[in-house]
C-alpha cells in the first residue's frame, strides 16, 4: 500500500499536469506575433502530452487507493509570447523537481512501477524544458 506522502505527491503532480495542459492550450489559442504560428503548435503538442500524463498519474493514483484531484494548480497564461514561454519554462522546472521527489519516495517505498512511470514522465518534462529554453535562445 502506498504511503499518504506518495499519494499526496501524485495528486500534486496531477494538479500540475492539469494546470499546464490548460495553460499551454490557452497559450496555443492566444499567442500573437511573428513567431507565434510555430510556437502555437509547440504549445498545443505539449499540452496534449501533459494531459496524457495527468491521465496516467490519475490511473496510478486510483490503483494505489488514492482519489485523483480534479483541481488544477494555479494557471498563469502570460501576456506576450516571451512571457508565456518564461512561465512555461518555470512550470517545467517545478515539475522536474517534483517528479524527482516522487521517484525518490516511490523508490524508498519499493514502488518500482510508480518510479518507472515517473522516470518516463520526467524524461518528457526535461524535453519540454529544453524546448522552452531553446525557444528563448538559452
Contact between 101 and 9 (Cβ < 8 Å): yes
- List the chain residues with pLDDT less than 70: none
CA distance linking residue 24 with residue 28, whole number of Å:
6
- The pLDDT of residue 3 is 95
- The fourth-level CATH superfamily of domain 4-135 is Ferritin, core subunit, four-helix bundle (1.20.1260.10)
pTM of the predicted protein model = 0.95
Cell numbers standing for residue 101: 521527489
**Quick one: which of 42, 35, 32 has its CA closest to 80?**
32
- The pLDDT of residue 36 is 82
Non-local CB neighbours of 88 within 8 Å, separated by 6+ positions: 20, 23, 24, 27, 43, 46, 128, 132
Amino acid at each position: 500500500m502506498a504511503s499518504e506522502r506518495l499519494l499526496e505527491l501524485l495528486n500534486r503532480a496531477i494538479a500540475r499536469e492539469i494546470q499546464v495542459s490548460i495553460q499551454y492550450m490557452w497559450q496555443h489559442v492566444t499567442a500573437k506575433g511573428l513567431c507565434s504560428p510555430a510556437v502555437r503548435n509547440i504549445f498545443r503538442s505539449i499540452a496534449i502530452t501533459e494531459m496524457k500524463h495527468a491521465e496516467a498519474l490519475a490511473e496510478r493514483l486510483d490503483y494505489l487507493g488514492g482519489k485523483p484531484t480534479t483541481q488544477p494548480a494555479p494557471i498563469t497564461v502570460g501576456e506576450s509570447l516571451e512571457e508565456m514561454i518564461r512561465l512555461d519554462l518555470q512550470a517545467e522546472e517545478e515539475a522536474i523537481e517534483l517528479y524527482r521527489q516522487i521517484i525518490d519516495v516511490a523508490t524508498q517505498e519499493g514502488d518500482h512501477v510508480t518510479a518507472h512511470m515517473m522516470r518516463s514522465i520526467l524524461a518528457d518534462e526535461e524535453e519540454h524544458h529544453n524546448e522552452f529554453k531553446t525557444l528563448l535562445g538559452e
